[in-house]
Amino acid sequence: MSSWKTCPKPLPGDWIVISAGLLLVAMLFLTLWHGEHAAKLRIRQGNSIYATLSLDQERTLDIRGPLGNTRIVIHQGQVRFVSSPCRNQYCVHQGWLSRAGQVAICLPNQVSLELLGARKNYDSLNY
Amino acid sequence: MTRSTTKARNTVEIRTTADDHRIAKLAALAIGLHLAEAIIPSPLPGVKPGIANIVTLYVLYRFDFATAAWVSLLRVFASSLLMGNFLSPTFVLSLAGAVISLFTLAFGAKLSKRWFSPISLSILAAFAHIAGQLLVVRLWLIPHAGIAYLIPVFTAAALIFGLVNGLIAAKLLAANR
């Protein structure tokens, strides 16, 4: 058995794989973790867009869904679910959203919030 | 009924070959590692070193792809039975990761050995593993974009653990030449 002190040497192909892996991870961080502040809020109710609003306002909205009214609040460039008639309250517990790309969904009452940046980064919200 | 047939009447005899024994031993090793790893707490569910994959890689190089596939899949099934999550989402995630990793290894094994060592295969398999799991999560468990934020963390972990496991597997293969 050879000494455990020596480390196996990566071959040229390994370095390519390692570099490609690093590049992939870096790209994923850059595309999915940019801290860009959201500019707009898109509210969906059921299958349709309920409203697309600027976050530069103080506003409280009541959105009617199948279970009742869902209340959301826009405050200082952030938005959150304040109350919802759903049972598990996941949407309310998600708290404030402020960065582009963030999403909060209340499935039982079919209301979703999606924060948009200056440009849309990925389009993957569907039911 | 003749005398010779009555002898084995009450027992079902399964004939095992040397290959079966070898697969069983290696799978047992992989299961042991898998269970040991399950005890280690993880900062984020899903981020795990996957040290059992060292065994899969070792077997792939020392024996062949079929043996590696047997060892890997037996490990997934037996570990889930031992931990009591057979057919649960955890098990499905584990199986999806293992199957896609095996596909990747099947192709990876065709790469030139002069250029690509087990390190490459380990990293590729780790990426495939997390990709398979994320696919299951996205299609079945959490069908919205909420997990997109975690993808960079998962892939970074896959790269690091894939590299470390690959180095260990390469070391083991070199040491037991």
Token reading at A36: 């860009």
Residue B29 resides in a domain: yes
- How confident is the model over B126-160, as pLDDT tens digits? 999 999 999 988 888 766 656 777 889 999 999 99
**CATH number, domain with residue B38:** 1.10.1760.20
pTM, to two decimals: 0.71
In chain A, what are the domains?
Answer: 40-116 (2.60.320.10)
A35-64 mean pLDDT: 87
Instruction: Give the position of tokens 């009450």.
Output: B10
3 state SS for B93-137: HHHHHHHHHHHHHHHHCCCCCCCCCHHHHHHHHHHHHHHHHHHHH
Residue B68 lies in a domain: yes
- Confidence band of A125 (pLDDT split at 50, 70, 90): low
Taking the Cβ of residue B6 and every Cβ of chain A, the question of whether any pair is shorter than 8 Å is answered with: no
* B25 domain residue, yes or no: yes
* Helix extents (H) in A33-116: 90-93
Contact A108, A86 (CB under 8 A): yes
Sign of CA dihedral B49, B54, B60, B61: positive
Starting from the edge strand earliest in sequence, which strands make up the sheet with A40-45, in order? A48-54, A40-45, A111-116, A103-106
CB contact under 8 A, B119 and A29: no
Which residues of A touch chain B, with CB atoms under 8 Å apart?
1-2, 4, 7-8, 10-14, 17-18, 21-22, 24-25, 28-29, 32-33, 101, 103, 105, 122, 124-125, 127
Q: Which residues of chain B are modeled with pLDDT < 70? A: 1-10, 45-46, 142-146
Give the residue on B whose Cα is nearest the Cα of A122.
B145
DSSP A1: -
Q: How many domains does chain B have?
A: 1
Give per-residue pLDDT as tens, B38-53: 888 877 766 889 999 9
Q: State the helix-helix crossing angle for B89-108 and B52-62, rounded to 10 degrees.
A: 30
Q: Which H or E element spans position A37?
A: none
Q: Which residue of chain A is at minimal alpha-carbon distance from B114?
A: A11
Distance from C-alpha of B132 to C-alpha of B157, rounded to nearest angstrom? 15
Distance CA B23, CA B86 (A): 21
Note whether residue B10 is domain-resident: no
**How much is the average pLDDT of A48-72?**
90
pLDDT of res. B1: 46
Handedness of CA A12, A13, A14, A20 (dihedral sign): positive
- The interface predicted TM-score (ipTM) is 0.84
The per-residue pLDDT for B78 is: 96
- Smallest CA-to-CA distance from B49 within B169, B158, B171 is with B158
DSSP string, A86-109: -SS-HHHHT--B-BTT-EEEETTT
Answer yes or no: is B7 within a domain. no
Give the SS3 label for residue A69: strand
- Whether B2 maps to a domain, the answer reads no
B76 lies in a domain?
Answer: yes
Residue with tokens 């992939």: A24
Alpha carbon of A11: minimum distance to chain B alpha carbons (Å): 6
Question: Domain range for residue B45?
Answer: 15-175
Residue B5 domain-assigned? no
